Amino acid sequence: MIEIAIDGTAASGKGTLAKKLAKKYGFPHLDTGLLYRKVAFELINQKTFNLPNLEVISCNIAKKISFYELEGIKLRSEKTAKLASSIASFPKLRKILNQKQIEFANENKEKFGGCILDGRDIGTVILPRANFKFFINASVEVRAKRRLLEKNISFLHEKDEKCMLQSLIDDIIKRDNLDSNRLASPLVPAKDAHIIDTSLINPEKLLSIVSNIIEGSEHSE
């Protein structure tokens, strides 16, 4: 049974890679960031994100999350991402969401022979014995440009586009810092992860590099 763990920084290309690998190998994929985003989204929706007992409220939301409600463009906003990153430092919340991720992995390994999870702590905490671990990164400018392209906005003036790009750069730097410096499961590559910088390579090239690693190595059952 194959476990593939993909971690990396925001907008580094890890999600696209995970989806492509899922299609290629027929393994179910979980974008674990969506779990944190879903909790953040509900906090914003309920206007409870300013309350002092945020960890308890977040845990109560997390307990009720189902994998089937994780799709949706609404979860993708930068506002949701920022709050997701800040609540992701709550150890009790992580414990609940970790359990869900482990259940997903176990269920799908049984049913489909493998699973792919992407996030920040997959190779270090969720699937420490994964057969393959990848840590994806890219320069902050490249990542911000990718996020801007995903938004598919047509700008009337170049200065508006530059301004939006700069604000995305600032947001990504802040989120990288929060994610890397928190005490609970910080964003760090697992010791046995393949570290890949995607600043100068496109998704197809990344898929081919990763597939070569997967297909070129023995794996333990």
User: Which residues are at the interface with ligand CDP (CB under 6 A)?
Assistant: 10-11, 15, 32-33, 36-37, 81, 84-85, 88, 119-121, 175, 179
CA atoms within 13 A on the CB side of 163: 6
State which residue, 106 or 212, has the beta carbon closest to ligand CDP: 106
Q: How far is the CB of 111 from ligand CDP (least distance, A)?
A: 22
One DSSP character per residue, 57-69 reads HHHHHHHT--GGG
CA atoms within 13 A on the CB side of 105: 25
Q: How far is the CB of 177 from ligand CDP (least distance, A)?
A: 10
Exposed, middle or buried: residue 133 (CB in 10 Å: 0-12, 13-18, 19+)?
A: buried
DSSP state of 74: G
Q: How far is the CB of 8 from ligand CDP (least distance, A)?
A: 7
Q: How far is the CB of 52 from ligand CDP (least distance, A)?
A: 21
State which residue, 42 or 121, has the beta carbon closest to ligand CDP: 121
State which residue, 15 or 114, has the beta carbon closest to ligand CDP: 15
State which residue, 33 or 114, has the beta carbon closest to ligand CDP: 33
State which residue, 85 or 198, has the beta carbon closest to ligand CDP: 85
Q: What is the Cα–Cα distance from 186 to 171, expressed in whole angstroms?
A: 18
Q: How far is the CB of 78 from ligand CDP (least distance, A)?
A: 9
- Of 57, 121, 62, 58, the residue nearest 97 (C-alpha): 62
> Which amino acid, one-letter code, is at 137?
N
* Residue number, nearest CB to ligand CDP: 33
